[in-house]
């Protein structure tokens, strides 16, 4: 699913007040963290991931890995924070994707 401008704008607005749910630190982005991010995206559809100062990872690299491995979309990158979106496969967890499809 490719996001258009209005859809991204809506998701950015919804994510604005969220706090980062995951923090990539000294250990970097590993398989366990990717699994947990994937599970959280399945339940929430929209979340933030922050890169701490002590990490060796680059924000663009983390974004590319998440997009490739989880098929999630990076809606926005603000400094060292990523806003991620992935439509849920379960009907009961669809909060944002139903609205995004209508926009």
**DSSP letters along 78-103, please?**
ETTEEEEE---SSGGG-SSHHHHHH-
Statement: residue 75 has pLDDT above 80: yes
Which residues is 27 bridged to in the sheet? none
- pLDDT at position 98 is 87
- pLDDT at position 59 is 94
- pLDDT at position 81 is 96
Q: Among 11-15, 48-52, 87-91, where is mean pLDDT lowest?
A: 87-91
């Amino acid at each position: 699913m490719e996001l258009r401008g209005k859809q991204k704008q809506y998701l950015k607005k919804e994510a604005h007040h969220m706090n980062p749910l995951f923090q990539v630190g000294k250990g970097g982005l590993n398989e366990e963290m990717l699994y947990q991010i994937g599970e959280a995206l399945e339940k929430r559809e929209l979340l933030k991931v922050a890169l701490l100062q002590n990490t060796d990872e680059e924000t663009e690299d983390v974004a590319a890995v998440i997009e490739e491995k989880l098929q999630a979309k990076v809606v926005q990158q603000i400094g060292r924070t990523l806003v991620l979106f992935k439509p849920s496969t379960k009907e009961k967890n669809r909060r944002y994707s139903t609205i995004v499809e209508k926009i």
